[in-house]
Amino acid sequence: VMSLKGRDFLTLLDFSTEEILDLLALAADLKAKQKAGVSYTPLSGKTMAMIFEKPSTRTRVSFEVGMIQLGGQAMYLNGNDLQLGRGETIADTARVLSQYVDVIMIRTFAHQKVEELAEYASVPVINGLTDDDHPCQALADLLTIYEVKKTFQGVKLAYVGDGNNVANALLVAAAKVGMDVAIACPPGYEPKKEYVEAACRIGEQTGAAVTVTHDPLVAVAGADAIYTDVWTSMGQESESAERLQVFQPYQVNEELVKAAKPDYLFLHCLPAHRGEEVTAGVMDGPNSVVFEQAGNRLHAQKAILLSVL
Ligand code: CP
Ligand code: NVA
């Protein structure tokens, strides 16, 4: 296991290309072990606290199962049932939980809350999604693309839709591994400036072309993978009617995917809304790898856990 012991996993911006490729190799190895029915429990006696301030299916279950498979234990903590929900500070929560558990995973709103938790915790902190980033998802997405394409060089990933947490994370993930990435979003819904600038800077080193456009056809042209996500993220429910209108031209449908390579992969972090960001035909069609992708959350996160513990 690599030298990531004690590190926080808050954003892929904090990890080098080599570290990301090592995590992917470890994830593939852990996946092979599990598929072969090999029991591997190096985290025996270790405990993870998982704080959720937003709902979750994949992140919650895959982290809990991953920890169990590695021999450890995980505990689900709803933010509202903690004193956190009554105003105890993130810093105090971090200092207390660090006395009990070996690692803390958190899903919350402001990215700065995760940074604060990491600053005050003496154990590694893992970002299970913030308003700005979703690094565990992006690592699983890289694994999913690599399994099929066997390389990142010359591979083009198109993301069509909201420039949200998932888009930010993908920009950085792709740039780090040298995969071309093109984001198409409506004006005013671009990925965060800091992430775009960082991705461009990283891309200059790794050879990844980074594009942000308002034209879905430009992004999808010649793409090897097409990715989309919900138009209304958790916490944006009050904007959903407006978003439904604004994002209509950005639907991933049978017409749009014609611009991609015939063997394009369709990815979606899930949960999906068929008929909104993607048609049922694309989502459930032969190019879709969304359930393999969801499955890979388990393996990618086991690699993260094993590396930081
Ligand atoms: N993709 C993802 O993070 O799913 P959940 O919200 O179900 O965890
Ligand atoms: N962008 C979505 C991702 C859900 C996994 C959200 O933040 O709700």
The model's pLDDT over 10-68, given as tens digits with 9 standing for 90+, comes to 999 999 999 999 999 999 999 999 999 999 999 999 999 999 999 999 999 999 999 99
CA of 270 to the centre of ligand 1 (A): 6
| Sheet of strand 225-228, all strands in order from the earlier edge strand to the far edge | 210-213, 180-184, 156-160, 225-228, 265-268
- Percent of the chain exceeding pLDDT 90 equals 99
Q: One of 69, 137, 251, 293 is an active-site residue; which one?
A: 137
Q: Which ligand is nearest to the CA of 270?
A: 1
Q: Where do we find the tokens 């207390």?
A: 96
DSSP 8-state symbol, 211 = E
**pLDDT value, residue 3:** 85
CA of 3 to the centre of ligand 2 (A): 30
Ligand 1 shell residues, CB under 6 Å: 56-59, 129, 137, 269-270
**pLDDT value, residue 140:** 99
Q: Where are the alpha helices (DSSP H) in 101-192?
A: 111-120, 135-149, 165-177
Cβ proximity of 168 and 190 under 8 Å? no
Cβ proximity of 165 and 133 under 8 Å? yes
Looking at the predicted structure, is the pLDDT value of residue 1 above 80?
no
185 as an active site residue: the answer is no
Check pocket membership of 136 for ligand 2, CB cut-off 6 A: no
Looking at the predicted structure, is the pLDDT value of residue 248 above 80?
yes
Write down how long the chain is. Answer: 309
Nearest C-alpha to atom 7 of ligand 2 is from which residue?
233
Give the pLDDT confidence of 170-188 residue by residue, as tens digits: 999 999 999 999 999 999 9
> Is residue 292 very low, low, confident or very high in pLDDT (cuts 50, 70, 90)?
very high
